[in-house]
Chains A and B, each alone.
Chain A
Amino acid sequence: SQKIEQNSEALNIQEGKTATLTCNYTNYSPAYLQWYRQDPGRGPVFLLLIRENEKEKRKERLKVTFDTTLKQSLFHITASQPADSATYLCALSATGTASKLTFGTGTRLQVTL
């Protein structure tokens, strides 16, 4: 069955450092991979989308890589700030059902001073 794995343990990082979050998937051929941020009691907020034929995408302090051979995406936040503390979710969708997102369970990021 399809499986999307994110590190369930919280990631604690010092302000100013680069945070790297991992998303691994199995039994899936995604057309798109997306990253969202979610704060407690709120809906997810879209951050970045990367297509299957793209290797890397950047937006300000954020960078996403996508390796379809390893079936893995890495999400980087450079120069982390306490305001970046949140749960980060990866989501995949397949060709033909691109509107149906399958989410990972998320990784909680805590940035400390």
Chain B
Amino acid sequence: KAGVTQTPRYLIKTRGQQVTLSCSPISGHRSVSWYQQTPGQGLQFLFEYFSETQRNKGNFPGRFSGRQFSNSRSEMNVSTLELGDSALYLCASSDLGGQGYGYTFGSGTRLTVV
């Protein structure tokens, strides 16, 4: 069974640009969550999608958005990039979305904003 796949693995962008990250969950998993990990703040929840609907949202500005497609694949978008957006962005999938089961994480996308 293939794991959670995130693309690209590494990305360098310039301040002010926008970026789209992709996540393919484990086959059959309907819940996809996104997290930002930085040395200072640790892992922080961005949002979660379940069956194409955003079900939970963290405390991030509106520049951070996401969506989920009918095949459960998900994308997150960050507009008007800031230097502070440099981080490891992790995607996690689950079949029921937190209902007593753990999450499977991808290896992440390392975003560097210069």
CB of A25 within 8 A of chain B? no
- The answer to whether residues A46 and B103 also contact, given A99-B48, A103-B42 and a CB cut-off of 8 A, is yes
Query: Which of A36, A102, A106 touches B45 (beta carbons < 8 Å)?
Result: A102
A99 lies within 8 A of B104 (CB): no
B98 lies within 8 A of A93 (CB): yes
Chain B minimum-CB-distance residue to A97: B56
The size bracket of the interface on B is 20 to 34
CB of B25 within 8 A of chain A? no
The docked-state distance in angstroms from the alpha carbon of A41 to that of B107 is 7
Interface residues of B (CB under 8 A from A): 4, 31, 33, 35, 42-45, 48, 50, 55-56, 58, 90, 92, 94, 97-108
Please, could you name 17 A-B residue pairs with CB atoms under 8 Å apart, sorted by A?
A: A34-B102, A34-B103, A43-B106, A44-B43, A44-B92, A47-B102, A89-B43, A93-B98, A97-B56, A98-B99, A99-B33, A100-B45, A100-B58, A101-B43, A103-B35, A103-B44, A104-B42
Interface residues of A (CB under 8 A from B): 32, 34, 36, 41-49, 51, 89, 91, 93, 97-106
